[in-house]
Amino acid sequence: MRIDIVTLFPRMVEGPIAESILGRARERGLIDIRVVNLREYAEGRHRVADDYQFGGGGGMVLKPEPLFAAVEALRTPRARVVLLDPRGRRFTQEIARELGAVAHLILLAGRYEGVDERVSTALADDEVSIGDYVLTGGELPALVVTDAVARLIPGVLGDAAAAGQDSFARGLLEGPQYTRPEEFHGMRVPDVLLSGDHQMIARWRRAQALWRTWQRRPDLLETAELTPAEQKLVEEFRRGKGPDESWMRSA
């Protein structure tokens, strides 16, 4: 998979994609992430890529010419152009999977007051937002999308099953996780995790994921795929009862 990130500020992007999982995936050739300096496609001696708004108003707007020129130079037959914009679709794990199926993504990082509307209407194939808040530009959203998409590529994560176990991957938040030591500041790891009973552990984790989702993001339960036993457990949550060992043994 290839991802081009088009930005006015390449150094904001270059550091993160060179580190950790993304950096290793690039080194191994599992994903081709390129950082494209928008100014290289701007015209004139000073490579100006932004200008004042028609009609007045504070803040600058990215000009259409350099963005169109950059995309025209980068576009491949299977490319999808995504504008990172607060007006776009709210980014979710489902959209990450959707974009992960694309061979070539071109991510356009907006800046200042945004981009010329002609970029949105005639250049971008899609618009994505990572949340309802204001950032200084689209570089961080582009990195969020890149990270979420890249980790779905086979081989990027060390554990092939890890991506399918993450929060949101199965429609729920993840339950609690523990590592050594078994006791810390008087707090012990739950006995079930030390039991060696993998079936019981799987049920405990599922129950805890349901419970945590119910407590923190109950809206996710409206679309999560639940078994009849899990649906019954959620009904018990609504009646004020939390997950217990008896459910794990009978589920």
> Looking at the annotation, which residues are catalytic?
86, 113, 151, 166
> Phi, psi (5° rounding) for residue 125?
-85, -20
Residue 161 token pair: 């099953």
Q: What letter represents residue 168's amino acid?
A: F
What DSSP string describes the chain?
-EEEEEES-THHHHHHHTSHHHHHHHHTTS-EEEEEEGGGG--TTTT--EEEPTT--SSEEE-HHHHHHHHHHH--TTEEEEEEEEEEEEP-HHHHHHHHT-SEEEEEE-BTT-B-HHHHHHT-SEEEES-SS--SBSHHHHHHHHHHHHTTSTTSSSSTTHHHHSTTTTSS-------S-SEETTEEPPGGGGS--HHHHHHHHHHHHHHHHHHH-GGGGGTS---HHHHHHHHHHHTT----HHHHHH-
Task: Supply 90's token pair.
Answer: 């709210």
